[in-house]
């Protein structure tokens, strides 16, 4: 039970009678070596005091969104980046509603919305509030955003009623988070390789053939893999996206450069080829800039197929090879053909003719086609690319384990 040792836990306490349980929860984390900072909402201070929280956590307690001392020492963005994980306990009906709508009217909600870390909620409320349709809808929305829910439990409440809505026992909450870090530790034995973005195939020193890929989905997959413990390498074509320092980033331009970088970073346990590699390159690149002409003929040749190369590499093939199929028509047919022809394990297909998803969008909708599972397929419905990535990585972990 020491998986939380030296892990940075940002603890958010909301205003509910169950707030007293948060003190015991903090004590358990501290006893097992976690580093804790705490945010108290305004209403939480009606149930527990900043002094009692600070005494147990031995860490700073935050409360106000606009506080000169806090904003100069560690603003709300930095606080969200500091944490390894965020735990909201108790998570009241009001807080759940705010988070589901993206409302940011206090420090707690602002930090959560700005966070790129896993967020756990331990709901606590009256049984009627828990069973209300709006609460159920709000929680379903948060689950789709990637939030993890702990509890609640069934029992007698402070109001005298009986039913579901009691905040989970502190030991249950602690065990859930400790197991999260245990899984992270187990996943550290896995190496992952991700390719992302377009490639540029030069015609002359200033012109090139490329495509509309933004690299967003591939970057999000690399982030999800790293967040869940994988030793992650990202090989990226030209993009304007930043990435966490924990991820080894290799920048390339051409398909040939991407292939060389891929070869140098094999073997690996899983390889996700989300890059939109140009199918063709110039047979012979012009040494000097081409002057404007009435007519120009370009001789093209096929680029090497990196996905197929890796899938069919007997000695260096990863345990799990995943390709992407960005299609505009006959998506299922083309995806299944690619799955078979490339000899990969999964193909993840999406419709790039739909302007709401795919290239340059923050949202996506994909279908995973699985080989050797009776050609099973699974749809991941419309949501943020970061959420799609978390779903994909969860399935990767299940497959590797």
Domains within the chain, CATH numbers bracketed: 8-185 (3.40.50.1950), 188-400 (3.40.50.10300)
**304-to-218, 308, 392 alpha-carbon distances in Å:** 20, 9, 26
Please give the Cα distance from 401 to 305 (Å, whole number).
29
pLDDT at 315 over 90: no
User: In the chain, helix, strand, coil percent, each to 5?
Assistant: 35, 25, 40
CB 83 within 8 A of CB 60: no
For residue 267, whether the previous peptide bond is cis, meaning omega lies within 30 degrees of 0, is yes
Q: Look up residue 352 and give its two tokens.
A: 């790039």
pLDDT at 8 over 90: yes
Please give the Cα distance from 274 to 192 (Å, whole number).
13
Give me the residue label for tokens 């031995």.
58
pTM of the entire predicted model: 0.72
Residue 69: pLDDT band (50, 70, 90) is low
Can you give the pLDDT at residue 276? 92
Positive/negative CA dihedral, 89, 94, 98, 103: negative
Residue 375: pLDDT band (50, 70, 90) is low
Q: Is 102 helix (H, G, I), strand (E, B) or coil?
A: coil
Identify whether 159 is a catalytic site residue: yes
Residue 374: pLDDT band (50, 70, 90) is low
Give 280-312 pLDDT, tens digit per residue.
999 888 889 988 887 888 899 999 899 999 999
DSSP string, 188-220: TT-EEEEEESB--EESSSS-EE------HHHHH
Task: Write down the catalytic residue from 5, 78, 159, 316.
Answer: 159
- CB atoms under 10 Å from CB of 220, counted, come to 25
Give 208-234 pLDDT, tens digit per residue.
989 888 999 999 999 999 988 899 999
Residue 396: pLDDT band (50, 70, 90) is very high
């Amino acid at each position: 039970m020491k998986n939380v040792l030296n892990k940075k836990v940002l603890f958010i306490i909301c205003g509910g009678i169950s707030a007293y349980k948060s003190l015991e929860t903090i004590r358990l984390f501290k006893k097992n070596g976690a580093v804790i900072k705490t945010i108290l909402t305004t209403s939480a201070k009606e149930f527990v005091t900043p002094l009692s929280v600070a005494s147990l956590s031995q860490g700073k307690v935050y409360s106000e969104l606009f506080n000169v001392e806090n904003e100069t020492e560690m603003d709300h963005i930095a606080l969200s980046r500091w944490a390894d994980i965020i735990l909201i306990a108790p998570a009241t009906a009001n807080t759940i509603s705010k988070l589901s709508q993206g409302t940011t009217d206090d420090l707690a909600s602002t930090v959560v919305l700005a966070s790129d870390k896993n967020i756990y909620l331990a709901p606590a409320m009256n049984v009627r509030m828990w069973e209300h349709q709006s609460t159920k809808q709000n929680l379903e929305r948060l689950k789709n955003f990637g939030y993890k829910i702990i509890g609640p439990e069934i029992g007698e409440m402070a109001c005298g009623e009986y039913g579901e809505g009691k905040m989970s026992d502190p030991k249950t909450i602690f065990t859930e988070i400790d197991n999260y870090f245990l899984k992270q530790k187990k996943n550290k034995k896995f190496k992952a390789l991700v390719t992302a973005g377009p490639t540029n195939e030069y015609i002359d020193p200033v012109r090139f053939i490329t495509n509309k890929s933004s690299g967003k989905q591939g970057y999000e997959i690399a982030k999800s893999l790293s967040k869940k413990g994988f030793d992650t390498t990202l090989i990226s074509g030209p993009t304007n996206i930043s990435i966490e320092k924990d991820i080894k980033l290799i920048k390339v331009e051409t398909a040939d450069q991407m292939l060389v970088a891929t070869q140098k970073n094999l073997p690996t346990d899983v390889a996700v080829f989300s890059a939109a590699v140009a199918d063709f390159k110039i047979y012979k690149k012009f040494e000097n800039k081409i002057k404007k002409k009435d007519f120009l003929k370009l001789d093209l040749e096929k680029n090497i197929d990196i996905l197929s190369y890796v899938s069919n590499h007997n000695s260096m093939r990863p345990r799990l090879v995943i390709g992407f199929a960005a299609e505009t028509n006959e998506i299922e047919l083309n995806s299944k053909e690619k799955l078979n022809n490339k000899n990969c394990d999964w193909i993840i297909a999406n419709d790039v003719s739909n302007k709401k998803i795919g290239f340059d969008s923050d949202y996506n909708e994909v279908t995973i086609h699985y080989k050797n599972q009776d050609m099973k397929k699974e749809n991941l419905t419309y949501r943020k690319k970061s959420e799609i990535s978390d779903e994909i990585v969860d399935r990767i972990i299940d497959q590797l384990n």
